[in-house]
Amino acid sequence: MTTMTAATVPATTSARATHGTVTPKEADALQRTGRAVIVDVREPDEIRRVALSKYIPAPSSVVRADCFPPSAEGMRMLILCQSGNRAGQVARALAAAGRTDISVIEGGIKAWQAAGLAVTAGGGSIPIIRQVLIVAGSMVAGFTALGVLVNPWFLTGAGFVGCGLAFAGLTGICPMAKVLGAMPWNAPKAPPAGAPGAAASTGKSCSAGGSCGCG
């Protein structure tokens, strides 16, 4: 079963053609009055740095339509990401699967902060994508130096890293991001008290994966 990335939905599909959108202030009001739940599809390292006071975590790199949090009758599921891009991709995939209770929060967490709405800032490590680039770049430089100074066979290591990055770009699956995401400094931030967890909300689990996507 595939995760809900850009590759799983038509690139030409209009966001507004398959789901609704709400402004951050509208989303905040809907959640405060019990008419909606916010689902944050950003990755754990992103949520560590800045998060809402109440949300359901559902990283877009691993969540699928069949295990996306359900909503109570009459409630909307408002999808939040960094800037709106990933939320739109997830919403289109859900709409294609038959969900009609989905809306995207316009502009993502950036627009939420710009609107002066409350967030919890936690600091934390640098983004996973930058960690991947640092590690991959260091490995290529190291293998190249060893290939020139010690033995040409070390150059195959640089080629292996390059193939791994190409695979990640083509498929949206990055094994290195998955490994780095499991490191202690990238431990996911637990949802705040009162915020339901994704597993409890869905009753299902999604297979783990690593994503190098941003947006």
DSSP letters, 151-184, are: -GGGHHHHHHHHHHHHHHHHHS--HHHHHHHTSG
Give me the sign of the Cα torsion angle 64, 69, 71, 77: negative
The answer to whether 51 touches 189, Cβ cutoff 8 Å, is yes
Other residues' Cβ atoms within 10 Å of the Cβ of residue 202: 19
Asked if 81 is an active-site residue, the reply is yes
Token pair in block for residue 170: 């083509």
Q: Which among 67, 81, 174, 206 is annotated as catalytic?
A: 81
- Integer CA distances (angstroms), 17 to 23, 75, 77, in order: 17, 20, 17
The answer to whether 62 touches 207, Cβ cutoff 8 Å, is yes
Catalytic site positions: 81
